[in-house]
Amino acid sequence: MQVWKWGGVILGIAAVVTMIVVVAVSLLDQRDGALPNAVTVDMGISYLPVTPGVSDYYGLGVDSGALVTEVAPDSMAARAGVVVGDVILTFNGAEVREESPLLGAMRNCPAGNVIALEVWRGQSRQKVELIHSVR
């Protein structure tokens, strides 16, 4: 049992280190004094992963997803009508859960693609579409 717990921790650390290396290499790749070559695909939101505990605390009515905590002015999300308090339930048809977080879905979606979101607003599901942008 102890090996399993430590194995998971090591795997988690390895995943984080891999991401750090990818970002570091991207940031260090400069050409002719230009800005770093890092590109962030961005919807223009900040969010909190929804767990049953988060749902209970905020009285959300859903046990998974991504609770929108901030929407950047004039972002793609703002233009599409995403508002603070929305819970993103699906990203292009895939459920947003702890096992499949929103960040992974956003990173795997090329910039310029249309994104179909299903959000929980109030007590109902709503569909929102927006274009994934590059920041």
What is the rounded CA–CA span in Å between residue 64 and residue 52? 7
Please write the tens of the pLDDT for every residue from 58-70: 999 999 999 999 9
Q: What counts of helices (H) and strands (E) characterise the chain? A: 4, 8
Q: What is the pLDDT of residue 14?
A: 44
Sort residue 74 into left (φ over 0), alpha (ψ -120 to 50) or beta. left
Q: What is the pLDDT of residue 10?
A: 46
Domains (range + CATH), the chain: 1-38 (no CATH), 41-134 (2.30.42.10)
Task: Give the residue ranges of the chain where pLDDT is below 50.
Answer: 1-19, 21-40
What is the rounded CA–CA span in Å between residue 29 and residue 72? 28
DSSP 79: H
